Structure 1
């Protein structure tokens, strides 16, 4: 196995998030990331609540902030993440929650059938960082949507995030730029062009319904890409 294969893999994504769960939780809860504070947190909550779902799954929920935000809007929300320390942080922040509200499941688990529930909305907020694991996960999601349900994805804006690299799908080195805290090795991520995202949705049995590009107020450049999809 080459050095790139070791450094760039779905397994390494998960290992890095396990290593950095504590500083990430502190960073989110202190609102230390400017783009989240100014734009993207609000953008995903507004996009989700506009759909008026009765139930929602926050997939890759991290320490649970979005799950809690959806609950505050009267939505029956649940959170799943593959990192035990993040799920424990979510449970500590929501001590009255029933045990099933926060579950530790990997994308591979869900693709293999471990999730036994359907939702009006499945939200993936900056949580689709991998390669083959994300492909398999998205292919499994239509089976977990109620009739008329949606998948809502917020991710890095491809042209903005690409910087000066060749504009093509593929693994990239990660970075904690913009994050304050004692972080360790960053997770790699699988960069997708806009065309790559649209092709992935199509392969997964999902049809794009809407696309948004929330703008960073000081720069007026896209801070993220939001994709809203429904089952074919």
Structure 2
């Protein structure tokens, strides 16, 4: 029951913060993204030489557009209709799809790469989504996930739900979303259980602090060598 209420709270928060989030991304208000993580995820995707990318939890669509500028066909889905509306206003292929729908098989087209860029915030639902991804990536395909680095999150190093925060963001944001913290060992065990195999682990560094700004997992289907 806790998982369901927390997952619902995540969605409520994002529905409420469509406008400030869109503005923050498009006006480069998030320093860590501008300095490190945006380029890191683009580079990690391009390194896989994909022809067709699905951005799962695409938000206002910046990554789909960045990939299009580099000649990569990309589509985005998100559970928040307001974010999809903002994405469509700037062009590109976007659609509304909840993670529950995705996990149940609503997306059926095989792709070269599925990307989750800071978009895996929940608990059991994330496992369901990853299991679905394992069936979608084609023979040489990859899943690329960027998330907070577990060792540098400032949280106790044990799995569990955490309270959200908009610290460092503008005062326009409200009702921060909760999120589920996983240790590195838990991430790796979850990937294996969902039918995915770690191919590469990337730790983009913050030049100012010298600490990883995030962690990026590059995954294949576990049966594909």
TM range (shorter): over 0.9
CA distance in structure 2 between the partners assigned to 1:62 and 1:154 by the alignment: 14
Aligned with 2:135 (options 139, 143, 156):
143
What's the C-alpha RMSD, in Å, of the aligned pairs?
1.4
Q: State the partner residue of 1:83.
A: 80
CA distance in structure 2 between the partners assigned to 1:131 and 1:12 by the alignment: 13
Whether contact under 8 Å (2:3, 2:124) holds in the other structure is: no
Q: Tell me, what secondary structure is at the counterpart of 1:44? A: helix
Q: State the partner residue of 1:45.
A: 42
CA distance in structure 2 between the partners assigned to 1:195 and 1:218 by the alignment: 27
Distance 1:133 1:6, change over 3 A: closer
> How do residues 50-199 of structure 1 correspond to structure 2 at under 5 angstroms?
50-94=47-91, 97=92, 101-161=93-153, 163=154, 165-199=155-189
Q: Tell me, what secondary structure is at the counterpart of 2:125? A: helix
Number of corresponding residues: 222
Gapped regions of structure 1 (runs ≥ 5): none
Q: Tell me, what secondary structure is at the counterpart of 1:56? A: strand
Q: State the partner residue of 2:23.
A: 26
**TM-score calculated relative to the size of structure 1:** 0.93
Q: Deviations over 1:64-94 (max 9, x none)?
A: 0001011111111000100000000000011
CA distance in structure 1 between the partners assigned to 2:113 and 2:170 by the alignment: 31
CA distance in structure 2 between the partners assigned to 1:16 and 1:223 by the alignment: 24
CA distance in structure 2 between the partners assigned to 1:181 and 1:123 by the alignment: 29
Gapped regions of structure 2 (runs ≥ 5): none
CA distance in structure 2 between the partners assigned to 1:181 and 1:62 by the alignment: 20
Q: Deviations over 1:102-135 (max 9, x none)?
A: 0100110011111121110001000000111111
**TM-score calculated relative to the size of structure 2:** 0.95
CA distance in structure 2 between the partners assigned to 1:181 and 1:91 by the alignment: 26
